[in-house]
């Protein structure tokens, strides 16, 4: 009467069960616990916490620096992608490989490495007359470092497909 579905992969149901079990333990339980803890003292206390001076300063810091780093990455990433696509120069392949460095590092490792480099005792930090690590400038540097490869790798294939003749025609017309 009832036929069980056959799957291409043997052990599919068992592996799906393990996946859902670990997803529940690693993702769902902490999120539910956090949500319950957040509203345990009531909505007015939650609302008050959201609008504390310290919370508002952290929002301004996070969103403002993210917006600045995104704009910086957009502009610099476009220039780097353009140069890598249109020009052939010594060290081009090295620069192209260095762009992928943040992809190879977990973000936590990148953050620790940048903090060590820009701390007052770090290789770069001791050369600078101002403090970078643990400041908004340091946060900006970290966000820009992490975001730049995404911009370059997104724009580069589009520029590679753009005909050079189109650029030359635009230049002739004054663009």
The residue extents of the domains of the chain are 12-51, 57-172
Mean pLDDT of 110-130: 94
Rounded mean pLDDT, 99-110: 91
In this prediction, residues 47-53 reach a mean pLDDT of 93
Res 149: pLDDT: 96
Closest CA to 118 of 144, 155, 81: 144
35 or 76, higher pLDDT: 76
Across the range 43-65, mean pLDDT stands at 93
Task: Check residue 57 and give its pLDDT.
Answer: 95
Q: Give CATH superfamily name and number for 57-172.
A: MetI-like (1.10.3720.10)
Mapping DSSP onto H, E and C, the string for the chain reads CCCCCCCCCCCHHHHHHHHHHHHHHHHHHHHHHHHHHHCCCCHHHHHHHHCCHHHHHHHHHHHHHHHHHHHHHHHHHHHHHHHHHHCCCCCHHHHHHHHCHHHHCCHHHHHHHHHHHHCCCCCCHHHCCCCCCCCHHHHHHHHHHHHHHHHHHHHHHHHHHCCHHHHHHHHHCCC
Greater pLDDT, 167 or 142? 142
Confidence tier at 156 by pLDDT (50, 70, 90) = very high
> What is the structure's pLDDT at 2?
64
Euclidean distance between CA atoms 106 and 146, whole angstroms: 10
Q: What mean pLDDT do residues 35-53 have?
A: 90
């Amino acid at each position: 009467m009832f036929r069980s579905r056959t799957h291409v992969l043997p052990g599919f149901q068992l592996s799906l069960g393990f996946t859902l079990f670990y997803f529940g333990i690693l993702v769902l339980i902490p999120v539910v616990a956090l949500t319950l803890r957040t509203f345990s003292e009531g909505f007015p206390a939650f609302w008050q916490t959201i609008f504390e001076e310290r919370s508002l300063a952290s929002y301004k810091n996070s969103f403002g620096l993210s917006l600045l780093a995104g704009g910086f990455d957009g502009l610099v990433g476009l220039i780097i992608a353009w140069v890598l696509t249109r020009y052939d120069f010594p060290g081009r392949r090295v620069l192209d490989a260095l762009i992928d460095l943040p992809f190879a590092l977990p973000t936590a490792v990148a953050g620790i490495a940048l903090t060590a480099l820009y701390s007052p005792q770090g290789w770069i930090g001791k050369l600078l007359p101002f403090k970078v690590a643990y400041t908004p400038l340091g946060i900006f540097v970290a966000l820009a470092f992490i975001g730049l490869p995404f911009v370059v790798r997104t724009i580069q294939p589009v520029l590679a497909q753009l005909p050079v003749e189109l650029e030359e025609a635009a230049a002739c017309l004054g663009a």
